[in-house]
Structures are given as structure tokens and as C-alpha cells.
Amino acid sequence: MYLFSDRLYRKDEIVLDDSKKQVVFTTIDNEIILKWLAEHNFPESFIEDIQNEDQSIAYEENEKFKLIILKYFIQDEEDELLYHDENVVIVMTGNTFLFLSRDTKIIKNITNRLYKRYKQSDSLEYITYTVIDIMVDHTMWIIDRIDDRLEEIEDRIFAENLNEQDVQKSLYFARRTLNRIAKLSVQSNDTVNKIYNHFSSEKRRKLQYEFIDLKEHLSFSINESKTYLDRTGYLQTLLMGFLSNRMNQAMQRLAAISLIFLPITFIAGIYGMNFKFMPELEWKYGYFAVWILNLTIAWFIFRWLKKRKWI
């Protein structure tokens, strides 16, 4: 558990004090937090939402609590371009700000970045903006990282040692991630609007430009993820076209080899017939003449194919 007060603390147990501002980062199943919420009449429906792994992005509030559920992207172990999303929960009430997540890595990442920006004078509304901004910046970093990988994939498509399976796998995972980012960024943008609109008029005035910047970043994430999603489609088409062209070249070479041996096979077929009267069979140099004829035909066809760049 992490507690931001005068400075950053970390200890196993923290006693929440309603009389002073506290910013707490911990796991969703922390019994101390769940007990504290129950004691402060946290709605059962809110409890169900924060414990539901399939809960979508949402903003809810009642007289005492504000509940925000967002998504944070974590790199999957299967591939560097595949990211899965995890729920993060923000609960605001009175002087207390709670950040909850099932994944301790998410908590560490957020707290490490918040520590560099946190000031004791920051209001809970400003801390909410800061935490969401950190999450959006993380999403933008993922998009930029995928963009760099797509540049590498485009170069790999034209490499001689192209591994088709690896490239197709990378493009598939990139498409999954970008599609998920685009969809969730739209939902996050709507939720950010609700959060801002439910602040007091004074807080909205103070945080006006911060939230404008935040929504611009979300719009950037939406537009860029869709742009790169289209790019993955282009790269898949490019890959298929390149592989098709390479297959056509292989078939062209096979056809060229068949063309060389076609007249030779025709001549061999003639002399494989069992006719009684074939004068050249009695000729002393007949065997060598057929060999010279075959090699001459093959050489002329080879030169013709070479000139036309079939082989």
C-alpha cells in the first residue's frame, strides 16, 4: 500500500484518517480499504463494480462518493506488440483519494510517476487529473512504440530472410492492441467529460486547461490508433502482395525449366517409339547428333528466357 501525505510512505497497514487529506494506492482486495468503505456506507453496487473484472469504463457518484473505473494497458508475455487492459478504480470521498488495482505493477508504475509530480497542496480533483493524465501518456507511449515496430516490420517484409509467420503474428497482435486502444480511448474520453462536468464550478475553472489538454491527448490516442490500425492493414496487404509476387517468381522459374525440357522431351518421345524404319538409328553419329540437337535447343531457350528475365 502507498500513501501520499507530506511525502510518500509505504507500509503494510495504513490507518485512514478522515480529518486530513490522504491519497492511497493499493490493491482492490485490500481488506483495510474494503472495511473502511463499508464503514462509510460505500454502496454495494459500487463494490460489485470495482470487484468485477469485466466491468467497463464508467463514472458513478452519489452524495458521498465518486467512483471512476478506467483501463490501463499492460504488455502481454506472448508478444511485445500485444497489450491487454486491466481495470483501475478511483474512489473520491471527502479528503480521501483511493486508487485500486488488481495488478501491483500498475500501482507501482502510477505511484512512481505521480511521486515526481505530486505536491502537498494539490487538490483531490487535480490529483485525479494527474493520475488520468499519467495513464493517457502511457497509452500514447504504447502507440508510439507500435509505430516504431511497424517501421521495422515494413523493412522486414523486403528482407531476404523474411519470416512470414513472425511478421503476420506481429501484425495481428498490433491490430488487436490498436483496436482495443481506439475503442477504450473513446469510452475514456466520454468518462473524462463526465468527471470534469461533475466538479464544482470553481474546480472546473481552475482545471479547465488541464482537462482540455487531457482530452486533446485522448483525441490523439483515438486518431493515431485508428491511423496505425489502417497501416497494419496496408502492411498485411503489402506482405500478401510480396509473398504472392515471390510465389509467382517461383512458378515462373518452374515454368521456364519446363519450357527448356519440353522440346527435349518431345524429341525423346519420338525416338522412344517402336517404328521399324527410322533411318537415323542406323547412322553411326545418330546418337551424338540427337545430343547436340537437344543441347542446342536447350541453350537457345535458356538464352531467350534469360533475356526476358524469366530466370
Q: List the pLDDT tens digit at each of the 311 positions of the chain.
A: 566 655 566 655 667 777 788 888 988 888 888 888 888 888 888 888 888 888 899 999 888 889 999 999 999 988 889 999 999 999 998 888 999 999 889 998 999 898 888 888 889 999 999 999 999 999 999 999 999 999 988 888 877 777 878 888 889 999 999 999 999 999 999 999 999 999 999 999 999 999 999 999 999 999 999 999 999 888 888 877 777 767 777 787 788 888 888 888 887 887 777 776 777 777 777 778 888 888 888 888 888 878 877 77
Range(s) for CATH 3.30.460.20 in the chain? Answer: 2-245
Per-residue pLDDT, 6: 52
Q: Which burial class, exposed, middle or buried, applies to 21 when counting CB atoms under 10 A from its CB (0-12, 13-18, 19+)?
A: middle
Q: Which CATH class is domain 246-307?
A: mainly alpha
**Upper half-sphere CA count for residue 274 (Cβ side, 13 Å):** 0
The answer to whether the CB of 260 falls within 8 A of the CB of 310 is no
Report the SS3 class of residue 66. strand
2-245: CATH topology:
Beta Polymerase; domain 2 (3.30.460)
Per-residue pLDDT, 15: 72
Per-residue pLDDT, 100: 92
- Going by their DSSP bridges, the two strands 2-4 and 8-10 should be labelled as antiparallel
Per-residue pLDDT, 284: 75
Per-residue pLDDT, 245: 67
Count Cβ atoms below 10 Å from residue 138 Cβ, excluding itself: 16
Per-residue pLDDT, 86: 93
Per-residue pLDDT, 280: 72
Range(s) for CATH 1.20.58 in the chain? Answer: 246-307
The grid cell for 238 is: 503489402
Per-residue pLDDT, 215: 94
Which of 101, 76, 75, 105 is closest to 87 using CA atoms?
101
The answer to whether the CB of 57 falls within 8 A of the CB of 39 is no
Per-residue pLDDT, 258: 83
Per-residue pLDDT, 8: 60
